[in-house]
Chains A and B, each alone.
Chain A
Amino acid sequence: MARSQPGTSVIVFEPQLCTGCRYCEIACAVWHCGRIDVTRSRIRILFDEGRTAERYAAVNCQHCDDAICCAVCPSEALQKDQKTGWVTQNSTKCVGCEMCIVACPLSVPIFDPALKVAVKCDFCLGAPECVKHCSSGALRLCAREEAVQLNARLYLSAKDDR
Protein backbone atom coordinates (compact mmCIF):
# COMPACT_ATOMS: atom_id res chain seq x y z
CA MET A 1 0.00 0.00 0.00
CA ALA A 2 1.73 3.18 -1.13
CA ARG A 3 0.76 6.25 0.86
CA SER A 4 2.14 9.76 0.67
CA GLN A 5 4.35 11.06 3.41
CA PRO A 6 2.83 13.91 5.42
CA GLY A 7 3.25 17.37 3.97
CA THR A 8 2.64 16.60 0.31
CA SER A 9 0.46 18.79 -1.90
CA VAL A 10 -2.20 18.02 -4.44
CA ILE A 11 -4.11 20.14 -6.97
CA VAL A 12 -7.67 20.92 -5.93
CA PHE A 13 -10.46 22.34 -8.08
CA GLU A 14 -13.25 24.49 -6.71
CA PRO A 15 -16.05 24.55 -9.30
CA GLN A 16 -17.73 27.72 -8.08
CA LEU A 17 -14.58 29.68 -8.94
CA CYS A 18 -14.11 28.26 -12.44
CA THR A 19 -14.76 30.56 -15.41
CA GLY A 20 -14.47 27.81 -18.01
CA CYS A 21 -11.62 29.50 -19.88
CA ARG A 22 -9.77 26.16 -20.30
CA TYR A 23 -6.50 28.02 -20.03
CA CYS A 24 -5.28 25.20 -17.77
CA GLU A 25 -5.68 22.77 -20.68
CA ILE A 26 -3.83 25.10 -23.01
CA ALA A 27 -0.98 25.68 -20.56
CA CYS A 28 -0.66 21.93 -19.87
CA ALA A 29 -0.54 21.09 -23.57
CA VAL A 30 2.03 23.78 -24.36
CA TRP A 31 4.22 22.75 -21.42
CA HIS A 32 4.22 19.06 -22.26
CA CYS A 33 3.87 19.09 -26.04
CA GLY A 34 4.96 22.54 -27.19
CA ARG A 35 1.69 23.16 -29.05
CA ILE A 36 -1.85 24.25 -28.18
CA ASP A 37 -3.32 20.78 -28.69
CA VAL A 38 -5.85 20.25 -25.93
CA THR A 39 -6.38 16.63 -27.00
CA ARG A 40 -2.98 16.10 -25.39
CA SER A 41 -3.70 18.02 -22.22
CA ARG A 42 -3.56 16.03 -18.96
CA ILE A 43 -6.38 18.07 -17.41
CA ARG A 44 -9.86 18.54 -18.85
CA ILE A 45 -12.52 21.09 -17.95
CA LEU A 46 -16.17 20.27 -18.46
CA PHE A 47 -18.95 22.82 -18.64
CA ASP A 48 -22.62 21.89 -18.70
CA GLU A 49 -24.82 24.92 -19.25
CA GLY A 50 -27.90 22.91 -18.37
CA ARG A 51 -26.88 22.48 -14.73
CA THR A 52 -26.72 25.01 -11.93
CA ALA A 53 -24.93 22.80 -9.42
CA GLU A 54 -21.76 21.09 -10.69
CA ARG A 55 -21.89 23.25 -13.78
CA TYR A 56 -18.08 23.25 -13.99
CA ALA A 57 -16.00 20.14 -13.42
CA ALA A 58 -12.34 19.29 -13.78
CA VAL A 59 -10.91 15.90 -14.59
CA ASN A 60 -7.46 16.02 -13.10
CA CYS A 61 -5.16 13.52 -11.46
CA GLN A 62 -5.56 13.28 -7.70
CA HIS A 63 -2.23 11.46 -7.26
CA CYS A 64 -4.08 9.00 -5.05
CA ASP A 65 -2.72 7.09 -2.14
CA ASP A 66 -3.08 3.38 -3.02
CA ALA A 67 -3.42 4.42 -6.64
CA ILE A 68 -5.45 1.98 -8.69
CA CYS A 69 -3.59 2.88 -11.88
CA CYS A 70 -0.32 1.69 -10.32
CA ALA A 71 -1.98 -1.54 -9.23
CA VAL A 72 -3.28 -2.42 -12.69
CA CYS A 73 -0.31 -1.34 -14.81
CA PRO A 74 1.17 -4.53 -16.29
CA SER A 75 4.58 -3.01 -17.01
CA GLU A 76 5.00 -1.03 -13.77
CA ALA A 77 5.18 2.18 -15.74
CA LEU A 78 3.20 3.97 -13.02
CA GLN A 79 4.73 4.34 -9.58
CA LYS A 80 3.73 6.16 -6.42
CA ASP A 81 6.49 8.39 -5.07
CA GLN A 82 5.76 8.52 -1.37
CA LYS A 83 8.08 11.44 -0.72
CA THR A 84 6.40 13.86 -3.11
CA GLY A 85 3.05 12.10 -3.18
CA TRP A 86 3.10 12.09 -6.98
CA VAL A 87 2.04 9.14 -9.07
CA THR A 88 4.75 9.25 -11.70
CA GLN A 89 4.89 7.58 -15.09
CA ASN A 90 7.73 6.13 -17.13
CA SER A 91 6.45 6.46 -20.68
CA THR A 92 9.16 4.21 -22.09
CA LYS A 93 7.68 1.30 -20.11
CA CYS A 94 4.10 1.93 -21.17
CA VAL A 95 2.72 -0.65 -23.59
CA GLY A 96 -0.43 1.33 -24.35
CA CYS A 97 -2.90 -1.18 -22.93
CA GLU A 98 -5.00 1.67 -21.44
CA MET A 99 -5.85 -0.33 -18.30
CA CYS A 100 -4.98 2.72 -16.23
CA ILE A 101 -7.65 4.72 -18.05
CA VAL A 102 -10.24 1.98 -17.53
CA ALA A 103 -9.38 1.37 -13.89
CA CYS A 104 -9.07 5.00 -12.76
CA PRO A 105 -12.32 6.08 -11.11
CA LEU A 106 -12.05 9.45 -12.87
CA SER A 107 -10.57 8.17 -16.17
CA VAL A 108 -7.78 10.64 -15.70
CA PRO A 109 -5.03 9.33 -18.01
CA ILE A 110 -5.30 9.92 -21.75
CA PHE A 111 -3.91 7.96 -24.66
CA ASP A 112 -1.64 10.53 -26.26
CA PRO A 113 -2.31 10.38 -30.03
CA ALA A 114 1.20 11.52 -30.89
CA LEU A 115 3.25 9.49 -28.39
CA LYS A 116 1.00 6.43 -28.63
CA VAL A 117 1.27 5.76 -24.90
CA ALA A 118 -0.90 6.66 -21.94
CA VAL A 119 0.07 9.90 -20.23
CA LYS A 120 -1.18 11.72 -17.18
CA CYS A 121 -0.42 14.58 -14.86
CA ASP A 122 3.19 14.66 -13.68
CA PHE A 123 2.61 17.69 -11.41
CA CYS A 124 4.93 19.50 -13.85
CA LEU A 125 7.54 18.20 -11.43
CA GLY A 126 6.64 20.65 -8.71
CA ALA A 127 5.16 23.82 -10.23
CA PRO A 128 1.95 22.84 -11.99
CA GLU A 129 1.29 24.97 -15.06
CA CYS A 130 -2.48 24.64 -14.73
CA VAL A 131 -2.42 26.18 -11.25
CA LYS A 132 -0.05 28.92 -12.39
CA HIS A 133 -2.35 30.02 -15.20
CA CYS A 134 -5.70 29.75 -13.42
CA SER A 135 -6.68 33.41 -13.04
CA SER A 136 -9.68 32.73 -10.83
CA GLY A 137 -7.89 30.42 -8.41
CA ALA A 138 -10.28 27.55 -9.10
CA LEU A 139 -7.20 25.33 -9.40
CA ARG A 140 -4.79 25.66 -6.55
CA LEU A 141 -2.23 23.72 -4.58
CA CYS A 142 -3.46 22.37 -1.31
CA ALA A 143 -2.09 20.18 1.47
CA ARG A 144 -3.29 16.64 0.91
CA GLU A 145 -5.07 16.34 4.25
CA GLU A 146 -6.95 19.60 3.66
CA ALA A 147 -7.77 18.55 0.10
CA VAL A 148 -9.40 15.32 1.25
CA GLN A 149 -11.72 17.32 3.50
CA LEU A 150 -12.43 19.91 0.79
CA ASN A 151 -13.33 17.28 -1.78
CA ALA A 152 -15.59 15.51 0.71
CA ARG A 153 -17.37 18.79 1.31
CA LEU A 154 -17.68 19.57 -2.41
CA TYR A 155 -18.62 16.19 -3.77
CA LEU A 156 -19.91 13.82 -1.11
CA SER A 157 -22.71 16.13 -0.08
CA ALA A 158 -23.54 17.53 -3.52
CA LYS A 159 -27.05 16.88 -4.69
CA ASP A 160 -27.89 16.20 -8.30
CA ASP A 161 -30.09 19.05 -9.47
CA ARG A 162 -31.82 17.28 -12.34
Chain B
Amino acid sequence: MLLEERLTGARRAAGGKGKRRVSVELDAAEVKEAVLAVLHGERARFVTIVAVDTGLDIELLYNFSLDGVLLTLRTSVAKEASAIETITPMAPGAEFIEKEIAELFGVEFVGHTRRTNLVLPDDWPTGKRPLRKPIVGDVIPQARASVENLMIGGTSIRVGPSSAVKREKAGLPRMPPLASANPVQMQEVKDLLIRSGFDKRAGFDRRTGKLRYK
Protein backbone atom coordinates (compact mmCIF):
# COMPACT_ATOMS: atom_id res chain seq x y z
CA MET B 1 0.00 0.00 0.00
CA LEU B 2 1.28 3.44 -0.90
CA LEU B 3 2.65 5.51 1.93
CA GLU B 4 0.06 8.24 1.39
CA GLU B 5 -2.78 5.69 1.52
CA ARG B 6 -1.47 4.20 4.71
CA LEU B 7 -1.18 7.58 6.35
CA THR B 8 -4.65 8.54 5.19
CA GLY B 9 -5.98 5.29 6.56
CA ALA B 10 -4.26 5.95 9.85
CA ARG B 11 -5.58 9.50 10.00
CA ARG B 12 -9.07 8.29 9.29
CA ALA B 13 -8.75 5.68 11.99
CA ALA B 14 -7.53 8.38 14.34
CA GLY B 15 -10.70 10.35 13.67
CA GLY B 16 -12.89 7.37 14.54
CA LYS B 17 -14.67 7.01 17.87
CA GLY B 18 -12.64 5.93 20.84
CA LYS B 19 -9.30 5.37 19.11
CA ARG B 20 -6.59 7.13 21.07
CA ARG B 21 -3.60 5.47 19.41
CA VAL B 22 -2.94 4.59 15.77
CA SER B 23 0.13 2.94 14.33
CA VAL B 24 1.67 2.72 10.82
CA GLU B 25 4.53 0.36 9.91
CA LEU B 26 7.21 1.81 7.66
CA ASP B 27 10.60 0.94 6.23
CA ALA B 28 13.34 3.18 7.62
CA ALA B 29 13.77 4.78 4.20
CA GLU B 30 10.12 5.91 4.18
CA VAL B 31 10.21 7.73 7.52
CA LYS B 32 11.40 11.11 6.24
CA GLU B 33 8.66 11.30 3.62
CA ALA B 34 6.04 10.13 6.12
CA VAL B 35 7.06 12.74 8.69
CA LEU B 36 6.80 15.43 6.02
CA ALA B 37 3.34 14.21 5.08
CA VAL B 38 2.15 14.08 8.69
CA LEU B 39 3.41 17.55 9.57
CA HIS B 40 2.49 19.29 6.34
CA GLY B 41 -0.70 21.35 6.67
CA GLU B 42 -1.84 19.34 9.67
CA ARG B 43 -2.38 20.30 13.24
CA ALA B 44 0.03 17.51 14.05
CA ARG B 45 2.65 18.02 16.72
CA PHE B 46 5.83 16.02 17.07
CA VAL B 47 5.85 14.33 20.49
CA THR B 48 8.92 12.11 20.83
CA ILE B 49 10.80 9.10 19.45
CA VAL B 50 10.93 5.86 21.46
CA ALA B 51 13.76 3.40 20.88
CA VAL B 52 13.39 -0.30 21.71
CA ASP B 53 16.18 -2.86 21.56
CA THR B 54 14.50 -5.93 20.06
CA GLY B 55 17.56 -8.15 20.05
CA LEU B 56 18.24 -8.16 16.33
CA ASP B 57 17.22 -4.58 15.55
CA ILE B 58 16.52 -1.26 17.19
CA GLU B 59 12.89 -0.35 16.80
CA LEU B 60 12.08 3.37 16.49
CA LEU B 61 8.61 4.69 17.17
CA TYR B 62 8.06 8.25 15.97
CA ASN B 63 5.11 9.66 17.90
CA PHE B 64 2.92 12.55 16.79
CA SER B 65 -0.13 14.07 18.39
CA LEU B 66 -3.02 14.61 15.98
CA ASP B 67 -5.95 16.29 17.65
CA GLY B 68 -5.28 14.40 20.84
CA VAL B 69 -4.74 11.06 19.15
CA LEU B 70 -1.25 9.56 19.21
CA LEU B 71 -0.09 8.61 15.72
CA THR B 72 2.96 6.31 15.76
CA LEU B 73 5.22 5.81 12.75
CA ARG B 74 6.90 2.50 13.56
CA THR B 75 10.14 1.40 11.92
CA SER B 76 13.29 -0.50 12.79
CA VAL B 77 16.96 -0.45 11.87
CA ALA B 78 19.20 -3.50 11.87
CA LYS B 79 21.88 -3.44 14.53
CA GLU B 80 24.51 -4.15 11.86
CA ALA B 81 23.68 -0.80 10.19
CA SER B 82 21.74 1.23 12.70
CA ALA B 83 21.43 4.53 10.89
CA ILE B 84 18.47 6.62 9.75
CA GLU B 85 18.05 10.16 8.40
CA THR B 86 17.42 12.88 10.94
CA ILE B 87 13.97 14.50 10.98
CA THR B 88 15.23 17.68 12.67
CA PRO B 89 14.91 19.83 9.54
CA MET B 90 11.14 19.19 9.57
CA ALA B 91 10.72 18.74 13.32
CA PRO B 92 13.36 20.76 15.19
CA GLY B 93 11.89 19.49 18.43
CA ALA B 94 13.38 16.09 17.66
CA GLU B 95 16.91 17.37 18.20
CA PHE B 96 17.26 16.29 21.82
CA ILE B 97 15.59 12.89 21.59
CA GLU B 98 17.56 11.89 18.50
CA LYS B 99 20.78 12.80 20.31
CA GLU B 100 19.69 10.86 23.38
CA ILE B 101 18.91 7.76 21.29
CA ALA B 102 22.21 8.13 19.46
CA GLU B 103 24.12 8.24 22.75
CA LEU B 104 22.26 5.49 24.56
CA PHE B 105 21.48 3.10 21.69
CA GLY B 106 24.15 3.89 19.14
CA VAL B 107 21.70 4.73 16.34
CA GLU B 108 23.18 7.26 13.91
CA PHE B 109 20.78 10.01 12.89
CA VAL B 110 22.37 11.09 9.63
CA GLY B 111 22.54 14.82 9.26
CA HIS B 112 22.10 15.60 12.96
CA THR B 113 24.21 18.66 13.75
CA ARG B 114 24.77 18.51 17.52
CA ARG B 115 28.33 17.53 18.28
CA THR B 116 28.63 17.48 22.08
CA ASN B 117 27.04 14.87 24.35
CA LEU B 118 23.64 15.63 25.78
CA VAL B 119 23.07 12.79 28.23
CA LEU B 120 26.37 11.00 28.66
CA PRO B 121 29.45 12.61 30.24
CA ASP B 122 31.81 14.35 27.83
CA ASP B 123 34.55 11.81 28.45
CA TRP B 124 32.30 8.80 27.83
CA PRO B 125 34.16 6.30 25.61
CA THR B 126 32.87 6.39 22.04
CA GLY B 127 31.34 3.18 20.87
CA LYS B 128 30.10 2.31 24.34
CA ARG B 129 26.30 2.49 24.30
CA PRO B 130 24.70 1.89 27.71
CA LEU B 131 21.29 0.67 26.53
CA ARG B 132 22.40 -1.26 23.47
CA LYS B 133 22.75 -4.98 23.94
CA PRO B 134 24.82 -7.35 21.77
CA ILE B 135 22.94 -8.61 18.75
CA VAL B 136 21.08 -11.82 19.55
CA GLY B 137 18.05 -13.62 18.16
CA ASP B 138 15.66 -16.27 19.37
CA VAL B 139 17.34 -19.40 18.05
CA ILE B 140 18.65 -21.38 21.03
CA PRO B 141 22.45 -21.74 20.97
CA GLN B 142 22.25 -25.52 20.58
CA ALA B 143 20.23 -25.13 17.38
CA ARG B 144 22.22 -22.41 15.62
CA ALA B 145 24.47 -24.65 13.55
CA SER B 146 21.54 -26.89 12.61
CA VAL B 147 19.43 -23.88 11.61
CA GLU B 148 22.18 -22.62 9.30
CA ASN B 149 22.55 -26.06 7.75
CA LEU B 150 18.79 -26.30 7.28
CA MET B 151 18.49 -22.90 5.65
CA ILE B 152 21.28 -23.55 3.15
CA GLY B 153 21.06 -27.26 2.46
CA GLY B 154 17.79 -28.49 3.95
CA THR B 155 19.55 -30.84 6.36
CA SER B 156 20.36 -30.54 10.05
CA ILE B 157 23.90 -31.84 9.60
CA ARG B 158 26.19 -30.45 6.95
CA VAL B 159 26.48 -32.22 3.62
CA GLY B 160 30.22 -32.32 3.15
CA PRO B 161 32.78 -34.04 0.93
CA SER B 162 33.33 -36.76 3.55
CA SER B 163 29.76 -38.00 3.22
CA ALA B 164 30.15 -38.27 -0.55
CA VAL B 165 33.34 -40.31 -0.09
CA LYS B 166 31.67 -42.58 2.47
CA ARG B 167 28.68 -43.15 0.20
CA GLU B 168 30.81 -43.89 -2.81
CA LYS B 169 32.79 -46.46 -0.82
CA ALA B 170 29.53 -48.05 0.23
CA GLY B 171 28.43 -48.34 -3.39
CA LEU B 172 25.79 -45.63 -3.15
CA PRO B 173 25.31 -42.52 -5.31
CA ARG B 174 27.48 -39.69 -3.96
CA MET B 175 24.41 -37.69 -2.92
CA PRO B 176 21.25 -39.07 -1.32
CA PRO B 177 18.02 -37.89 -3.00
CA LEU B 178 17.91 -34.79 -0.78
CA ALA B 179 16.43 -31.46 -1.85
CA SER B 180 19.95 -30.00 -1.95
CA ALA B 181 20.78 -32.30 -4.86
CA ASN B 182 18.14 -30.52 -6.96
CA PRO B 183 18.11 -26.70 -7.29
CA VAL B 184 14.35 -26.53 -7.91
CA GLN B 185 13.57 -28.61 -4.81
CA MET B 186 16.06 -26.67 -2.71
CA GLN B 187 14.50 -23.39 -3.79
CA GLU B 188 11.13 -24.79 -2.67
CA VAL B 189 12.53 -25.51 0.78
CA LYS B 190 14.04 -22.02 0.97
CA ASP B 191 10.80 -20.39 -0.19
CA LEU B 192 8.86 -22.34 2.42
CA LEU B 193 11.20 -21.21 5.16
CA ILE B 194 11.04 -17.59 4.03
CA ARG B 195 7.25 -17.62 3.66
CA SER B 196 6.75 -19.10 7.11
CA GLY B 197 8.61 -16.05 8.42
CA PHE B 198 11.31 -18.24 9.90
CA ASP B 199 14.17 -16.40 8.16
CA LYS B 200 13.03 -13.18 9.82
CA ARG B 201 12.17 -14.68 13.22
CA ALA B 202 15.45 -16.52 13.41
CA GLY B 203 17.45 -13.53 12.16
CA PHE B 204 18.95 -15.42 9.22
CA ASP B 205 20.87 -13.51 6.55
CA ARG B 206 20.53 -15.23 3.18
CA ARG B 207 23.41 -13.19 1.74
CA THR B 208 25.96 -14.54 4.21
CA GLY B 209 24.28 -17.88 4.78
CA LYS B 210 24.56 -17.35 8.50
CA LEU B 211 22.52 -16.19 11.44
CA ARG B 212 23.06 -12.52 12.24
CA TYR B 213 24.44 -13.50 15.61
CA LYS B 214 26.78 -16.17 16.91
Chain A positions within 8 Å of B, measured between CB atoms, are: 30, 34-36
In the bound assembly, the distance between CA atoms of A34 and B140 in angstroms comes to 7
Residue among B140, B141, B142 with the most chain A CB within 10 A?
B140
Beyond A34-B138, A36-B141, 6 extra complex contacts between A and B, CB < 8 Å: A30-B140, A34-B140, A35-B140, A35-B141, A36-B140, A36-B142
Give A35 to B142 CA distance when docked, in angstroms: 9
Chain A contact residues, majority secondary structure: loop
Instruction: Determine the chain B residues whose CB is within 8 A of the CB of A30 once the complex forms.
Output: 140
Chain A residues positioned under 8 Å from B142 (CB to CB)? 36
Question: What class of interface size applies to chain B in its complex with A?
Answer: under 10
Residues of B with C-beta under 8 A to A35: 140-141
Cα distance A35–B138 in the bound complex, in angstroms:
9
A-contact bits for B137-174, CB 8 A (1 contact / 0 none): 01011100000000000000000000000000000000
Distance A85 CA – B138 CA, assembled complex (angstroms):
32
Nearest CB in chain A: distance from B133 CB, A: 14
Closest B residue to A35 using CB positions? B140
- Give Cα distance in the complex from A36 to B140, angstroms: 7
B102, chain A: closest CB distance, angstroms: 29
In the assembly, what is the distance between CA of A34 and CA of B138, in Å?
7
Instruction: Specify which chain B residues have a CB less than 8 angstroms from the CB of A36 in the assembled complex.
Output: 140-142
Name the residue on B nearest A34 (C-beta).
B138
Q: Which residue of A lies closest to B139 (CB)?
A: A34
Q: How far is the CA of A19 from the CA of B195 in the complex (A)?
A: 37
Expressed in whole angstroms, the minimum distance between the Cβ of A77 and any Cβ of chain B is 28
Cα–Cα distance between A35 and B144 once the two chains are bound (Å): 12
Cα of A30 to Cα of B141 in the assembled complex, Å: 11
CB distance from B208 to the nearest CB of A (A): 24
- Closest Cβ of chain A: how far from B135's Cβ, in Å? 16
Residues of A within 8 A of B138 (CB): 34
